[in-house]
């Protein structure tokens, strides 16, 4: 007899999670609560309600989390200029802690004994969901069907639907794409299918959010993004909410062929994985944020941020959003953003994001000192001689002691 009476399932309404509803009911003899999050995946989430009802679910949660997602997760991450392994803008990674947080909140609200998800035993998402859940509710039971059942393919899932009278309309018929896709306001990812050959070039019709750079307009698009404490708050002078800002930048970037990425990444579980990503708005935001930081951040603060960033990015990729070390790094990053205010002007053109201007009332750029013209004594060039000699002292001593730097 199972000690699980009620489970909260992260439910998309697709084939896998529809099978999971019935599998949980059959295997654990428990009540299932479904939770569907709208984080800007670009598809209707309300149909999940009818699908869940058809499977006998009584408690159904469908939550619009778009603003919370961008405000409390995407924006803090972008203050750090976070990139994993030099390329990946962490679009899937940063969505998982929010889903885990809401799963635990619903479990508390409904008195559920466990949570469940549809992540496979090969991927990163199982780690991200569960690390987040255990951080917020240490004693929660987590059920990961892909690590328990013997349903190993789409064919066996469909057979299970037939045996248990799960309507295939509700379980999801044939995918429109041969690829496994995950989308939210920050990005859309593509994995599987022909992409499992890392030498395969994806076909043009795979991409959903962007035109190819070759097909982008011949006339550039100019935009201005206004920043306050490191976050984008205005676009072309108009104040926008976080979710609206990112959605608008996605459209502008996609129309100009911006944000496509093809990479092989190192998963936390140990394997390499090839994926393609579209992150048009995020690509623009990253370039703009670094531009406003370039004139408002102190040199050593900026360099320290760049040194901390890979560690911060790895924490997010591996699922440690709710860890004390991520919170500690976030506090330092947020402290650095006090004077990151101003406006960045950008040119979007055929896959490129070009910074063409930046200005700020908090700028540390001093034209009187930096000028190549007469600086009226603002900078004494003779001071450079002593500066150079002091920094060369250890090198000169070593050379005088016969420690040649030539090999």
Choice among 22, 66, 79, 96 that is catalytic? 96
Under DSSP, is residue 344 helix (H, G, I), strand (E, B) or coil? strand
- 262 given a catalytic annotation: no
Active site residue 180: yes
Q: Please say if 96 is a catalytic residue.
A: yes
Q: Among the options 16, 38, 113, 231, which is catalytic?
A: 16
Tokens standing for 74? 């995407």
What is the Cα–Cα distance from 190 to 198, expressed in whole angstroms?
A: 13
CB 35 within 8 Å of CB 10: yes
- CA count, 13 A, side-chain hemisphere, 120: 8
Active site residue 16: yes
Whether residue 340 contacts residue 230, with contact meaning beta carbons closer than 8 Å, is answered with: yes
Annotated catalytic residue, options 180, 294, 323, 363: 180
Among the listed residues 22, 125, 273, 360, the single catalytic one is 125
Q: What is the DSSP string of 287-330?
A: HHHHHHHHHHS-HHHHHHHHHHHHHHHHHHHHT-TTSHHHHHHH
Tell me how far apart the alpha carbons of residues 54 and 168 are, in angstroms, rounded to a whole number.
11
User: Cα–Cα–Cα angle for 149, 154, 156, nearest 5°?
Assistant: 50
Measure the CA–CA gap between 19 and 165, rounded to whole angstroms: 11
CA 94 to chain CA centroid, nearest Å: 4
What whole-number distance in Å separates Cα of residue 47 and Cα of residue 63? 13
Integer distance in angstroms from the first to the last C-alpha of the chain? 74
Report the interhelical angle of 242-255 vs 280-296 (nearest 10°): 110
Are β-strands 342-349 and 260-266 bridged in parallel, bridged antiparallel, or unpaired?
unpaired
Q: How far apart are CA 298 and CA 295, in angstroms?
A: 8
Residues 6+ apart with CB under 8 A from 16: 118, 157
Instruction: Supply the residues annotated as catalytic.
Output: 16, 96, 125, 180
């Amino acid at each position: 007899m199972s000690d699980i009476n009620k489970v909260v399932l992260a439910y998309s309404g697709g084939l896998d999670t529809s099978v999971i509803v019935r599998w949980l009911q059959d295997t654990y003899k428990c009540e299932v609560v479904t939770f569907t999050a709208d984080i800007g995946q670009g598809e209707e989430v309300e149909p999940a309600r009818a699908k869940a009802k058809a499977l006998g679910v009584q408690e159904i949660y469908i939550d619009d989390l778009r603003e919370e997602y961008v405000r409390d997760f995407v924006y803090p991450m972008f203050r750090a200029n976070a990139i994993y392994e030099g390329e990946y803008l962490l679009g899937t990674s940063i969505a998982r802690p929010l889903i885990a947080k809401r799963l635990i909140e619903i479990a508390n609200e409904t008195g559920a004994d466990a949570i469940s998800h549809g992540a496979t035993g090969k991927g990163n998402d199982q780690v991200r969901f569960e690390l987040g859940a255990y951080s917020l509710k240490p004693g929660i039971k987590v059920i990961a069907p892909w690590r328990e059942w013997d349903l190993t393919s789409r064919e066996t899932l469909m057979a299970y639907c037939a045996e248990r009278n799960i309507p295939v309309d509700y379980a999801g018929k044939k995918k429109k794409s041969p690829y496994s896709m995950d989308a939210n306001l920050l990005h859309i990812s593509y994995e599987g299918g022909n992409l499992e050959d890392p030498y395969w070039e994806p076909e043009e019709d795979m991409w959903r959010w962007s035109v190819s750079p070759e097909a982008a307009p011949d006339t550039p698009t100019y935009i201005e993004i206004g920043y306050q404490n490191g976050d984008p708050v205005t676009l072309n002078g108009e104040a926008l909410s976080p979710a609206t800002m990112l959605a608008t930048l996605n459209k502008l970037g996609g129309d100009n062929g911006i944000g496509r990425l093809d990479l092989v990444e190192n998963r936390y579980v140990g394997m390499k994985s090839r994926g393609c990503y579209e992150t048009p708005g995020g690509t623009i935001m990253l370039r703009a944020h670094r531009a406003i930081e370039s004139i408002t951040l102190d040199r050593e603060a900026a360099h320290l941020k760049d040194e901390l960033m890979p560690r911060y990015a790895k924490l997010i990729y591996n699922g440690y959003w709710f860890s004390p070390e991520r919170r500690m790094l976030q506090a330092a990053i947020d402290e650095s953003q006090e004077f990151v205010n101003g406006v960045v002007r950008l040119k979007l053109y055929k896959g490129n994001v070009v910074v063409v201007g930046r200005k700020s009332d908090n700028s540390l750029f001093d034209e009187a000192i930096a000028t190549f013209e007469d600086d009226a004594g603002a900078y004494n060039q003779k001071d450079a001689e002593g500066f150079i000699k002091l920094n060369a002292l250890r090198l000169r001593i070593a050379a005088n002691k016969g420690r040649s730097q030539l090999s």
